[in-house]
């Protein structure tokens, strides 16, 4: 019986499994094309079992994007604390490329679906986080050209990270190529020191 | 009576209006989240009036993307006919940036929605056209780095062209900034001659 999983794995595991299945269905059918019923069917659950954890698709979407938001926020804050425009953009770029590679399916849901973006902008500080990321890149070249380059880098890395993309690279190689493509677009030189991303929990320098 | 428009405007106009409303709803709700009924409601038509022109959403999607496919195909063919790798990539880039600017809403539907991309890949020569565009860019730098840069440029320009994007530029300025961002990412120098895009119907040089 499928719902036996609810008991043996515990409620937290079930919640996480619903989130994982939701991401997978969102990337195949888009957010608007995925119902709680489809998620239940995919898991062999009743709709009531899914409803026990998430009452609406909006609530589920919030839970799906929460880990990504939780990771991008400190990257933005650490980037903003760097001393030079170049260091700020470099820190944001390496952090963003890392997230894109580690959350390929989720980034494609976020980047591509206009319904998702509108809902997230309405829901919380998503719009603010996007604008701060754009500013960190666009400050390298004040004016509309800098804004366009920033938008191309953010959309390009997220879009190219799509699991169905032509790219069949391991994570480390893909991350490094994203960083190099972003540096070229933004006109950033390769820094002499290795990126601080290797120790993401270290406090930002003051 | 709303259906009176069917007669006074003629069937061709109605067909085009359905397509325009469909693009607008796709960009707001994604393809999967838009039904023929929603299109009928938006136009004040009965579902039967929409059904008279399009029997399925798939058929409607085909009609929606047809003009874009019709325009990208000759750009790819002209680009492939150029003599050098740089000229091939430059021609593809200027043509792609031009299409992205002229079809901002439609490009966002195409670029962002995984359901749309999967359906189009299954339907016709869409996958082949995408692969030929990638090759025109990736040939500049054989290897995985070139593929990544090609994918970032294609996804980045399409994604940044989103009507809801931060960019509030007129079409000419946006196109020029897209071309410059693409050249930087791909490592293309600004060509001495103006792009041949000014005369898109001229035969490609042999």
User: How would residue B202 be classed by pLDDT, with cut points 50, 70 and 90?
Assistant: very low
Q: Tell me, what DSSP letter sits at residue B53?
A: T
pLDDT band per the 50, 70, 90 thresholds, residue A32 = confident
Chain A contact set for B151 (CB, 8 A): 156, 159-160, 165-167
Among residues B9, B83, B78, the alpha carbon closest in space to that of B43 is found at: B9
Nearest to A112 among B29, B114, B177 (CB): B114
Ramachandran sector of residue B77 (left: φ over 0; alpha: ψ -120 to 50; beta: rest):
alpha
Q: Which two tokens stand for residue B52?
A: 């008279």
Q: What local confidence, expressed as pLDDT, does residue B198 receive? A: 46
Nearest CB among A113, A151, A185 relative to B113 is that of A113
When mean pLDDT is compared over A191-195, B31-35, B39-43, the highest value belongs to B39-43
Token pair in block for residue A26: 């969102």
Q: Residue B167 in contact with residue A151, Cβ under 8 Å? A: yes
Confidence (pLDDT) at A114 = 64
Residues A3, A46 contacting (CB under 8 angstroms):
yes
**What pLDDT is stored for residue B166 in this prediction?**
57
Residue B100 scores a pLDDT above 70: yes
Mean pLDDT of the B171-195 span: 88
A24-33, B46-55, B184-193 — which is least confidently predicted? A24-33
Contacts B160 to A, Cβ<8 Å: 148, 151-152, 154-156
3-state class of B56 per DSSP? coil
Helix (H, G, I), strand (E, B) or coil at A78: helix
Q: Which has more pLDDT, B162 or A91?
A: A91
Q: Among A162-176, B47-61, B139-153, whose mean pLDDT is lowest?
A: A162-176
**Spatial distance between the Cα atoms of B74 and A188, rounded to a whole number of angstroms:** 35
Find the angle CA(A112)-CA(A115)-CA(A116) to the nearest 5 degrees.
Answer: 65
**Cα separation of B164 and A169, whole Å?**
31
ipTM over 0.85: no
How close, in Å, is residue A178 to chain B by CA atoms?
7
The verdict on a CB contact (< 8 Å) between A147 and B157 is no
Q: What is the pLDDT of residue B7?
A: 46
pLDDT of residue B57 exceeding 50, the answer is: yes
Whether B159 and A157 lie within 8 Å, measured CB to CB: no
- CA B37-B41-B42 angle, 5° bins: 120
Which residue in B has a C-alpha nearest to residue A121's C-alpha? B164
Instruction: Give the model's pLDDT for residue A104.
Output: 83
Determine the residue of chain B that is closest to A149 in CA distance: B181
Q: Name every chain A residue with its beta carbon within 8 A of the beta carbon of B61.
A: none
Selected residue of A28, A89, A157, A166 to mutate for chain B interface (largest B Cβ count, 10 A): A166
**pLDDT confidence bin for B200, thresholds 50/70/90:** very low
Is it the case that residue A44 has pLDDT exceeding 90? yes
Range B124-140 average pLDDT: 88
Q: Average pLDDT in the A67-84 region?
A: 94
Q: Do A180 and B145 touch (CB under 8 A)?
A: yes
Confidence band of B88 (pLDDT split at 50, 70, 90): very high
Counting Cα atoms < 13 Å in the Cβ hemisphere of A21 gives 20
Smallest Cβ distance to B177: which of A134, A144, A156? A144
Contact between A30 and B115 using a beta-carbon 8 Å cutoff: yes
What are phi and psi for residue A89, nearest 5 degrees? Answer: -65, -40
Q: Which helix (H) or strand (E) holds A164?
A: none
The count of C-alpha atoms lying within 13 angstroms of the C-alpha of A175, restricted to the half-sphere facing its C-beta, is 16
Residue that wins the pLDDT comparison between B173 and A104: B173
Better-predicted residue by pLDDT, B134 or A161 = B134
A159-168: pLDDT as tens digits? 888 765 556 7
Lowest-confidence region among B101-115, B149-163, B175-189, B190-204: B190-204
* Cβ distance of B131 and A169 shorter than 8 Å: no
Report the gap between the CA of B10 and the closest CA in chain A (Å): 32
Average of pLDDT values for A146-172?
Answer: 84
CB distance B76 to B132 below 8 Å = yes
Would you state the torsion angle of the CA atoms of residues A98, A103, A104, A106, taken in this order, to the nearest 10 degrees?
-140
Three-class DSSP labels, chain A:
CCCHHHHHHHHHHHHHHHHHHHHHHHHHHCCCCCCHHHHHHHHCCCHHHHHCCCCCHHHHHHHHHHHHHHHHHHHHHHHHCCCCHHHHHHHHHHHHHHHHHHCHHHHHHHHHCHHHHHHHHHHCCHHHHHHHHHHHHHCCCCCHHHHHHHHHHHHHHHHHCCCCCCCCCCHHHHHHHHHHHHHHHHCCCCCCCCCHHHCCCCCCCC
Q: Is residue B25 within 8 Å of residue B42, measured between CB atoms?
A: yes
Percentages (nearest 5) of helix, strand, coil residues in chain B: 70, 0, 30
Verify whether the Cβ–Cβ distance A152 to B147 is below 8 Å. Answer: no
What pLDDT digit, counting tens, does each position of A120-137 carry? 777 667 778 888 999 999
**In residues, how long is chain B?**
206
Percent pLDDT > 70 in chain A is 82
Q: What is the pLDDT of residue A200?
A: 47
Q: Half-sphere exposure of B2 toward its Cβ, with a 13 Å CA cutoff? A: 12
pLDDT band at B121 (very low <50, low <70, confident <90, very high): confident
| Residues A33, A70: Cα–Cα separation, whole Å | 26
* pLDDT for residue A78: 98
With beta carbons under 8 A apart, name residues in chain B contacting A178.
Answer: 148, 152
Q: CB–CB of A54/A63 below 8 Å?
A: yes
Interface test with A, best of B104, B105, B112, B137 (most A CBs within 10 A): B112
C-alpha dist (Å) from residue A172 to A99, A117, A146: 12, 28, 28
CA dihedral over B160, B165, B168, B170, signed as positive or negative: positive
The mean pLDDT of A95-101, rounded to a whole number, is 95
Q: What is the nearest CA distance from B131 to chain A, expressed in angstroms?
A: 8
**pLDDT per position as a tens digit, A135-144:** 999 999 999 9
Q: Which pLDDT does position B191 carry in this prediction?
A: 80
Give the N- to C-terminal CA distance of chain B in Å, as an integer.
57
Are A30 and B28 within 8 A, CB to CB?
A: no
Highest mean pLDDT among B81-85, B109-113, B162-166: B81-85
Q: Give the minimum alpha-carbon distance from A185 to chain B in angstroms, rounded to a whole number.
A: 4
Region of poorest pLDDT, from A151-155, B42-46, B194-198: B194-198
Q: Do B137 and B184 touch, CB atoms closer than 8 A?
A: no
Mutate to test the interface with B, among A159, A161, A164, A167 (most CBs of B within 10 A): A159
């Amino acid at each position: 019986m499928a719902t036996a999983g609810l008991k043996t794995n515990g409620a937290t595991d079930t919640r996480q499994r619903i989130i994982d299945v939701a991401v997978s269905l969102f990337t195949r059918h888009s957010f608007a094309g995925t119902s709680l019923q489809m998620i239940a069917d995919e898991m062999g659950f009743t709709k009531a079992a899914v409803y026990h954890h998430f009452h609406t698709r909006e609530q589920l979407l919030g839970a799906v994007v929460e880990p990504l938001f939780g990771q991008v926020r400190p990257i933005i804050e650490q980037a903003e604390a760097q001393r030079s425009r170049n260091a700020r953009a470099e820190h944001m770029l390496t952090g963003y490329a890392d997230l894109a590679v580690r959350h390929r399916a989720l980034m494609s849901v976020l980047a591509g679906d206009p319904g998702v973006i509108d809902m997230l902008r309405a829901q919380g500080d998503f719009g603010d986080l996007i604008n701060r990321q754009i500013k960190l890149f666009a400050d390298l070249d004040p004016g509309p050209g800098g804004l366009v380059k920033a938008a191309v880098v953010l959309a390009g890395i997220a879009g190219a990270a799509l699991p169905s993309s032509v790219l069949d690279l391991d994570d480390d190689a893909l991350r490094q190529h994203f960083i190099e493509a972003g540096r070229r677009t933004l006109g950033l030189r390769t820094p002499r020191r290795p990126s601080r991303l290797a120790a993401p929990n270290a406090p930002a320098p003051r």
